[in-house]
Amino acid sequence: MSFVKNVMAARKERTTIIEGRFLNWLETAPDTYQHEPETFQASQMYFVCPRKFLIMEREGMKKEHDARTKAKFGIGHALHHWYQDKYFGPMGILRGDWRCKRCWKKYKNCLMPTEKCKKCGSKDGYEYEELTVRNTEWDIAGHVDGIFDIDGVQYVMDMKTIDPDMFKRLEKPYPAAVYQVNLYMWMLNIHKGVLIYIDKSSNGVSPIKEFPVEFDPDTISDMQSRVTSYKVAVSSKTLPPRMCKDSSAYRARGCECKELCFDDEWCAEFLKKWNDEEIEREMESLREQRSQDAE
């Protein structure tokens, strides 16, 4: 068990007014950050290994988030909503769908309304609703943080919250974030983007750093190659090629499937079971058809 997990465990066991109770509750709370296994997520596509994706899907494996990670994600989501509703919306630059806080009437594809709600007359304000994007051909989906509409030019915007030390050292965007924004630009057919990193402490001169993102067709080709590798494997009942040379590769270090992926005996049994199941389904279908014909 890591040092952080040891500390978390000790705190949960300690008699406290709220901390231990909160950590225990958060540990068992529903994981709202899980995604549908059959859909590729734009936010994770940079890290996707087709072989791992297929094994986890077939074996019913899910990456469970611990209390610390859930709390971290929660902070990020809260800051996203704060910037959307309290800053970028009132600035008149955030385009998308807005909902009345009182009656939930939706105003679509517009800047934040500045007048009272036309349905209920409320002056309580509006909340931004993040856009869900999906490409069914490539089975990829995601949630876009927003679209900036500035001087008639639209930018796909994505926000990332990071720790103060990382924020100070940040001189360029992380490749995974650039990859993600490119997928959003492709799905929305908007070829300009901007990444915004938010300092969780806001101790610096500015609490945000921005990086323009230009559309890169090679990113889309890479995504399509990975999805194709997965789909070919599914249709042929095989495993996609390994992305790592061996189990000691950097990418494999934290992989949940590392031991299974490099176990040739397990892989052979995995494929045999898969093909046997398919044969049994075909035989069952044939038996049902014969039964119907006999009637």
Neighbours of 182 (CB within 10 A): 26
The pLDDT of residue 93: 98
Would you identify the CATH topology of the domain 3-242+256-273? Lambda Exonuclease; Chain A (3.90.320)
Token representation of residue 32:
């709202």
**Res 295 pLDDT > 70:** no
**Res 284 pLDDT > 60:** yes
DSSP string for residues in 16-38: -SSHHHHHHHHHHS--TT---TT
Cα distances (angstroms) measured from residue 54 to each of 80, 223, 265: 32, 16, 17
Token representation of residue 146:
């927003």
Torsions phi, psi of 72, nearest 5? Answer: -65, -45
Residue the block writes with tokens 């902070």: 75
Query: 144, 155, 215: which is closest to 179 by C-alpha?
Result: 215
Each residue's pLDDT tens digit, 124-145: 999 999 999 999 999 999 999 9
The C-alpha atoms of residue 122 and residue 163 are separated, in whole angstroms, by 38
Length of the chain: 295
Each residue's pLDDT tens digit, 13-43: 667 788 888 888 888 887 766 555 568 999 9
Give the pLDDT band of residue 44 (cuts 50, 70, 90).
very high
CB 242 within 8 A of CB 261: yes
Query: 82, 80, 144, 147: which is closest to 110 by C-alpha?
Result: 147
Token representation of residue 255:
């992989």
Domain coordinates of the chain in residue numbers? 3-242+256-273
The pLDDT of residue 203: 67
**Res 10 pLDDT > 70:** no
